Structure 1
Amino acid sequence: MLLRPLGGGREWEAAPADVRPATPAEQLSAKVRAANDQAARNRAEPVNAPGREMCRPPVPVPGCAECAELDARRAAARGGFDWSGETDANVLLRSHQRRDHEA
């Protein structure tokens, strides 16, 4: 008989006579361990990954014509499923905001 941990992992072999149902406490412990392992994997970021602020699209500054133009370019690219164009517009909008709005 092959067994595997509740949260996934390497299988191991066990004799059927040696296997018993897990107690409620063992089940809870295994579920908590699996949830914690998953949370740790979700938090792990590659060393050279962009910061969280770079993952969010920039927000145009109200009343700024250049921000509005770049936001319209981004929306058009997104509407056309042009993900590269959307990224380009985000980069240009961020650059403009750092240069002209000290953001």
Structure 2
Amino acid sequence: MSPKPATYDPGTALYDPATDRVGEYRGQAGARAMLRPLGGGREWEAEPGSLRPATDRERLSASVRAANERTLATPPGPGDVSRPPEPVEGCPTCLWLADRRVAARASFDHSAVTDANVLMREHQRKEHDG
């Protein structure tokens, strides 16, 4: 008589050696265990007797993989960075950032000048469509 497979609580992260993946235990479907990828996705069936709790390293690796897969959008390119962005006329945020840049230049704080340029480009992408 074979030993009875361990029972797990729903949500437990388990390693499935047959697929070499870590999944969240969802429950039983007949004689099979149902696992779902960490972070969501399509469930799969696994042999309950072969499952074991995932190690910290396996859980972390699976979580990072899931986060990377969720990152589908590529951020927009910075555009022409050879010239500093110009403030949009009448926009108080653009004018405030331009003033910060002028003050940073006056104090020879090149890092703050770059910060102001980056923040202005980001603001203009979000608020002024480019």
The TM-score normalised by the length of structure 2 is 0.39
Whose Rg is larger?
2
The structure with the greater share of residues assigned to helix is 1
The TM-score normalised by the length of structure 1 is 0.49
The structure with the greater share of residues assigned to strand is 2
